[in-house]
Amino acid sequence: MRNIDHYIGGQSVVSGSRTSPVFDPNAGIVQAEVRLGDAATLEQAVAAARAAQPAWAATNPQRRARVMFKFKELVEAEIDDLARILSSEHGKVLADSKGDIQRGLEVIEFCCGIPHVLKGEFTHGAGPGIDIWAHRLPIGIGAGITPFNFPAMIPMWMAGVAIATGNAFILKPSERDPTLPVRLGDLFKRAGLPDGIFAVVNGDKEMVDAIIAHPDIAAISFVGSSDIAQYIYGQGTANGKRVQAMGGAKNHAVVMPDADLDAVVRDLAGAAFGSAGERCMALPVVVPVGEATAEALRARLLPAIAKLRLGVSTDPEADYGPVVSAAHKARIEDYIAMGVAEGAELVVDGRGYTLQGHEGGWFVGPTLFDHVKQGMRSYEEEIFGPVLQIVRAADFEEALRLPSEHQYGNGVAIFTRNGHAAREFAARVNVGMVGINVPIPVPVAYHSFGGWKRSAFGDIGQHGMEGVQFWTKRKTMTGRWPDGGVGETGSAFVIPTMG
């Protein structure tokens, strides 16, 4: 049995008395065991970070950027092997795993330009003989708690910016697919990152609580479910930490009567069912405007869904693979049963799907509901599986209201040829990320990622300039060099002004 340990101080470390199985979702069998750490494990990682971080912070930004350049080269050279590892533990197909890695590398590319974004601010002559300047300094030691669905992208989102700005970073990945995150430690070391600056501590809630409580960890970045995001945000800020906590989603795709329905169906097939729907930026809800639009869309969706191919992760012809665990498969199927009980029309039922030769795998077939209504639990809650729900809207205002009133506000898309409708929708919808004829509106790496409402706790987004702000603190200096040096007389008893 393969064992997965922690990565601390530039080497593999055995710590903690408990283990957790790591499965192959394609077969439903255990392929490895990951060691679950505890507070003592975390203390080892913090001690190594504490020793290494001051020198790393003092390293000039150009040299830190060179580590990012080299890391990017190493990941690109090994992307096939990394994708294989990712798929074997997560279940997503190889092409999707490569996309996972590539999206993480785009943030690393942004980090290669860190000398530019850390240049700071300067005002000459802000007052009589007075200059003001500001620069951003690392916070010290940060931690990232990442989900199972993007074991490469999200760790690189967090670690890249944190490390490039001069911090040490401790990663707590999902215990369901931990091998690739640990592998990142080896790649960072080979890229020239000093030992102690990047660590991986595997664990469950015990490790999360240890991170929240540790006094030397200054900031926590989290991506996962909304309930856990709210818990980490509340507990972390109560312990004096800076916290960004990204939660769940129920993204809507509004389809206007003038939309290109063939293009919409192609986009929906990938956005709703790709990666078995296990994406916080998936499109699990489609809102056609008007009955004619709804009927035409449904008629086009059925043959497109029938053509979807499920397969094992290594099948190059597969559109998507198994879900991550038996428990998650059961949860998705429970939501399908819930939708039926609530009165939604089950048009395509993906329950009970088996793949010949892989009967033990955790596969869920594509599922389509129609006539889903606001207030149904299956609509209000995140299913996180290959389930698409049609919620019919009578007009534009109702279509705008549905995502705006939903508890989640991560992403939304509108499909239309009408520029005024698109502009009006983007301006008024109460959601953090908007796509216009773009099904998955994840911003590029030099912009920032983050939703609204219960999709995000904290007011600073991931990566881009907001990521730089999150992992740094600003210091502002006001200086004056009077004529003749020291020796000015007189005291001021009012607040100084620059007039």
Rounded to 5 degrees, what are φ and ψ at 12? -70, 135
Answer for the pair 378, 339: CB distance below 8 angstroms, yes or no.
Answer: yes
Residue pair 24/31 in contact (Cβ under 8 Å)? The answer is yes
For residue 414, what are the contacts with CB-CB under 8 A and spacing of at least 6? 253, 254, 256, 421, 422, 425, 426, 434, 435, 436, 437
Element (H, E) at 133: strand 130-138
| Residue among 469, 462, 25, 471 nearest 247 (CA) | 462
* 139-156: burial string, b at 16+ Cβ within 10 Å, e else: bbbbbbbbbbbbbbbbbb
- Structural contact between residues 247 and 457, judged by C-beta atoms closer than 8 angstroms: yes
In angstroms, the CA 202 to CA 136 distance is: 31
111 is catalytic: no
Which DSSP helix (H) or strand (E) runs through 199? strand 198-200
Asked if residues 251 and 283 have their Cβ atoms less than 8 Å apart, the reply is: yes
Annotated active-site residue in 280, 285, 305, 391: 280
Give the span between the Cα atoms of 277 and 250, in whole angstroms.
Answer: 11
| Two tokens, residue 212 | 């929240």
The DSSP annotation for 28-48 comes to TEEEEEEEE--HHHHHHHHHH
Return the active site residues: 280
